[in-house]
Chain A
């Protein structure tokens, strides 16, 4: 069992915030204390083209404070020291990940105790740019499936991926509308028939009620923009608010079935 696979033994809450936005260490602690099962830490990028306004702004706030790639890995390393058992995945865009070469990036992930990597803009077709280096270090390349990923394409998405499968429930950007529950149920059933990996569902999930509905069918629920919005609202003092929302989401997910 890896940290990641253990985390999905019961329905899991995957909580996202952007590294370097607000008091990140305190915010990450708050997510764990609130009951998040997996932490998804966003690597800031100047051009987050798959993200909606909330996470775009978080990226720019973080970069505006001078956050570097070294800072992101330091945040991860410190988190790992404080929370040896909570899985941590990095989410971001290709260019910052491959800038110094994929081997450097994978090595840094390993050294910081990162369990997996979600790269938005490296599809299976371009896996050579990052996948082999991650796998060589035992870091899970976590892929995305979407409403446009058909049955014919799905095996290609699953090939070489591990950790969990992230189902992007709407064709769109983060933090906007939520998909209809029926379409999520249908999609998750198809994905689970094709893989033994846990399936986590994200995009547009904001409330405990939505999270509970999804957790009835999926192994995990990803919440990002709603948490990031709290960091925007409360700045350096967001931790208690994050913990409170995380707790209500985590309780809803855990008690969904």
Chain B
């Protein structure tokens, strides 16, 4: 960090929704008035104790929060076996995979559907890649009795059949999107097309900390329950703060949710883990490592793109990380140097997936498996009294078919 380091890393974005040079509101004029309405309504909700009380109540009794903070003792021992003498930090997990619906996504969906109802909207739409955000959105729509349309790339519909069925069971209409490469980016385009045609009654529940302002901010705020709980739990259990936080990053909502409450704890390092897919020199989904700043889906951020600004197709074994952009706050945190970012390949993530199954009896989602791979490498070179805290943001039930295929197992 340099002499231009801000006094606080927790006061972004500015009043125009910019995180340094990133973020903003890059949407068609039809959506602008609605985006401005949403911001006004969000400010009102923030100032309304009843909103917070309802959000907290649902998180506790419906989602199952607080999620546990767990010391992964056998994983720590395993790491120490191959670490240099005296090395091998303690690995702790924030267990957001134990939430209702199996991932952190639900935290944000609860917040946004409460906002939608405050605004008098009667129809919900969302995009989904792996289907986790789609399932979480369909869940809250069922809970509050609102009709729900989920846009999902046709390719993803095929490879995530169990989640498609879950969404349908929950009463959602799942619309396969065939444009482009028929994955998450195209689903988001289609979501925006629906929204622009139905602005009068429709609320778009964006699943990650990206999109036009105020989405990156409000998604971060709703997900910050992860970091707030973890900070308190860690202090209570160990009497100190962790030495480093680690989280996987697609759009970056679970990572910003963990990081944000710690951003001004200067001694706490942070590591965001992008998906390196087949490798950073091949097809991947690591926007910060291999992208350039640009504008897509309502915000300015790092994007995988060519020299003409055409968006590249991302690849990751994890459908939840398979997106060519990243939330704008991460772009800013990278540039300020406050957070370090790295990338983990499909193969490394698969190894880490299996490692966690065997050492801890936890089947992780492929998304946090990327973070686990990075945790193992990092913990090995840290002292034994140091603490690594990772957000275990999703469980792996949805991924067993993908993993079986990658391992050459017929099911």
Chain A interfacial positions (CB closer than 8 Å to B): 45-50, 52-53, 56, 60, 63, 68-69, 93-99, 120-123, 125-126, 129, 143-150, 153, 157, 168, 170-173, 176
Contacts and interface: CB of A to CB of B under 8 A. Distances in A.
B185 A47 contact: yes
Residue from the set A45, A98, A173 with the largest chain B CB neighbour count within 10 Å: A173
B311 to A, nearest CB: 4
Interface stretch (B140-148, B294-302, B350-358): B294-302
B308 A99 contact: yes
A97 B300 CA distance: 13
A52 to B, nearest CB: 8
Contact of A50 (B16, B186, B196, B300): B196
B199 A171 contact: yes
Interface stretch (B24-32, B82-90, B230-238, B384-392): B24-32
A45 B311 CA distance: 8
A98 B26 contact: no
Contacts of B25: 123, 125-126
A120 B28 contact: yes
A98 B309 contact: yes
Chain A to chain B: the 8 pairs with minimum beta-carbon distance, closest first: A99-B309, A172-B197, A96-B309, A95-B309, A94-B295, A146-B30, A49-B189, A144-B29
18 contacts: A49-B188, A49-B189, A69-B308, A94-B26, A121-B28, A122-B26, A126-B26, A144-B28, A144-B29, A145-B29, A147-B30, A148-B29, A148-B30, A168-B30, A171-B198, A172-B193, A173-B196, A173-B197
Contacts of A93: 295
B33 interface: yes
Given A95-B309, A121-B28, A126-B25, 10 more contacts: A47-B296, A50-B28, A60-B180, A93-B295, A95-B310, A98-B309, A126-B26, A144-B28, A148-B199, A171-B199
Interface string B287-308: 0000000111110100101011
A102 to B, nearest CB: 12
Given A49-B193, A145-B29, A146-B30, A95 B305 contact: yes
A123 B27 contact: yes
B192 interface: yes
Interface of B: 16, 24-34, 179-180, 185-186, 188-189, 192-193, 196-200, 294-298, 300, 303, 305, 307-311
Contacts of A157: 29
Given A148-B33, A157-B29, A121 B180 contact: no
Nearest to B200: A171
A125 B309 contact: no
B295 to A, nearest CB: 4
B326 to A, nearest CB: 15
A64 to B, nearest CB: 11
Residue from the set A45, A49, A63, A68 with the largest chain B CB neighbour count within 10 Å: A49
A49 to B, nearest CB: 4
Residue from the set A46, A143, A157 with the largest chain B CB neighbour count within 10 Å: A46
Contacts of A95: 294-296, 303, 305, 309-311
